[in-house]
Structure formats: C-alpha cells, structure tokens
Amino acid sequence: MTVRARHTSRPKHYAKDLLDVATMPRRQIQDLLRLAALLKKQQRRGTPHRLLRGKTLGLLFQKPSTRTRVSFEAGMNQLGGYTLVLPMGDIQLSRGETVSDTARVLSRYLDGIVIRTYDHSIVEEWATEAAMPVINGLTDHSHPCQALSDLMTIQEFKGRLKGLSLAYIGDGNNVANSLVEAGAKMGMRVVIGCPSGYQPDQRVIDRARMEGQTTGAAIEVVENPLVAVKEADILYTDVWISMGREREHARRLRTLSPYQLNQRLLQRAKPDAIVMHCLPAHRGEEITADVLDGPQSVVIDQAENRLHMQKAILAQLLSRTKGTR
C-alpha cells in the first residue's frame, strides 16, 4: 500500500509556512501526527512513498546541525525529491544582498526552504517575502519541528497526548517555548522547572494558557525541580548552554546545576515515566549518563522520529506547491 494524494492535501486554512507551533491549527498537528506515523510504518515495511518526486528543498543553515540537516536531507530523498544546501558563505546574503531579493529569486528555483538561524525575525521576513513554504529549522525563539516530532514520540509510547503531564527541567530555551506551545495545542499539562531568569518567553506562556482554556491544557512555571517532576509522565531536558550562549558557560553551570535530570528527579515522576532529550546531550551536566542511557530513556526513538515528522511536514507543505518557475 502506498500513500495516496488525499493524505498530503493541504486545506486552505493551513498556513503556507511553519514558523512556530502556536500559529498551527490543532487539526493540522493531528494530520501531521497521522501522516508521520503512516510514513514511518511504510518505511519500515520498505514501501515507497515518493510523494515529492521532482521537488527541490533548500537548506539555509547559519547554525551547526546534525539531526535537523540529516533528517531533512534523508527525508526529502525518501520522498523522491532533492535537497540543495546553501552555505551562508557561498551565497550573496553574506555580501549584503537583501532577504527580500534572495527569497523572491529562490522562490523561482525551489519548492521550499528550511532556515536554521539565530533571530526569529529572520524566518518571519523570509516567510513574508518568499512565495515558497518556509520552514523554521530552529531559531533562538523556537524549534517547532522538534516539538512536533516529540509529540509523535510521546503518542507512540503513551498512546495519547491529552491529559499527560510533561515536566521540562533546566533552561527555558527555544525547545521549552515550542514544547509549551505544543502541549497547549494538545491538551497536556506542561510544567517548566527552571531558575529565575531562565524562564520561557512570557508571551509564549500567556498565549499557551489562553489556548489551554479551549484544549484543557495547563501550563505551569516553577523554580523547584522536585515540584516540577512530581507524578510526571514525561521528563524532558536540553543542554544548558545553547548555541550563541558559550560566553555564559560558567555562570549557567552554577545556576542550573540543581536542575540536573538525575535519578533523584526520576524517582519523583511516575514509575513508567519516559525520559526525553532532543540531543546533543552533555552527560554529567543537564542529565546523568545513567538516566540518559537508562531503560526509561526514549531519546534514540525520539531522534528517529525527527525523520518521520520532517517528511510529514515536507509532504504537507510542499506537495501542492506549484511554484512560479
């Protein structure tokens, strides 16, 4: 059995771009979860699903990447399309050409583009100027593709999303922002355990709490990590020193050391809690090796699901692009 066109049709009310989870309709997320699960099943059966034959995806990365780049490249290949890596030093953006000119020209060449950069306003500008779909591969503000694939992993291991409790421990960074948005969309309880000054974006929290009034989600921010993880179904952490924060290394280690995800915190969660980390991980800093590599860890499955969710995102956004070439 192969994936049929009806699985990849994009309703008119879906946005052209994927910039953050907050702007996505709940139905779109549900469709992505179903499609990603189907594509994963088909890949494991060896069933071709070349939904994007003849399509070309651009990858514009200003930050280092392993999982995001490889999953998008491999995923596009498995969908029958092509990828074109655009190193910043090799294109005219590095010599002063405007985003507007670059985006409008590349829209004539490409069917979509993934951008991994620092300032979130850059992907917003690309989305405004480009005729093709723009996908946020990570900014300092959000990491939507990660959060969407995390929903897939949680659903696989727990059988549902609504009503589950996710405790995120550590730095309230871009991943934390996107997990808050994703949990709010799907009716989850999301508790962020972090020190003062390291909370997620307050605008993200406020918007997610408003969303929760409709979906039944609950969003909490607490300073005590033991309180945050109590009776959690999912424990999640990320690196303490994100890209661009290297100068803050010593201060961050001092401040965040009480927020290490270790056996003490794991024992406060539910007995069947799963442990998640978006990787790369620094064993002995934000998480201990025995927890990261232990029996409750699902981090490798979580990383694999980046591939399947990325393919679903590409199929959903690019399958109906006509381009102006």
Are 94 and 119 a contacting pair, CB within 8 Å?
A: no
State the Cα–Cα distance between residues 60 and 84, nearest whole angstrom.
9
Task: Give the Cα separation of 266 and 293 in Å (integer).
Answer: 13
Clarify whether 283 is annotated catalytic: no
Of the residues 42, 62, 111, 278, which is catalytic? Answer: 278
Q: Which one of 10, 67, 116, 268 is the catalytic residue?
A: 116
Max Cα–Cα distance, the chain, nearest Å: 58
Residues whose CB is less than 8 angstroms from the CB of residue 189 and which lie 6 or more positions away in sequence, other chains included = 163, 164, 165, 166, 183, 217, 218, 219, 220
Q: Would you state the structure tokens that stand for residue 38, as one six-digit string?
A: 């189907």
**Cα 44 to Cα 5, 47, 48, 196, 282, distances in angstroms:** 20, 8, 10, 45, 31
Can you read off the two tokens belonging to residue 106? 């590349």
3-class DSSP state of 268: coil
Which one from 78, 146, 302, 316 is the annotated catalytic residue? 146
Identify the active-site residue in 31, 238, 252, 302: 238
Tell me the two tokens of residue 195.
């020190």
Residue 53 annotated to the active site: no
Residue of 7, 120, 189, 306 marked active site: 306
Cis peptide preceding 280, ω within 30 of 0: yes
| Of 49, 143, 252, 277, catalytic | 143
Q: In what order do the strands lie in the sheet with 112-116?
A: 82-85, 56-61, 112-116, 134-138
278 is catalytic: yes
Is 306 annotated in the active site? yes
For the annotated catalytic residues, the residue numbers are 116, 143, 146, 238, 278, 306
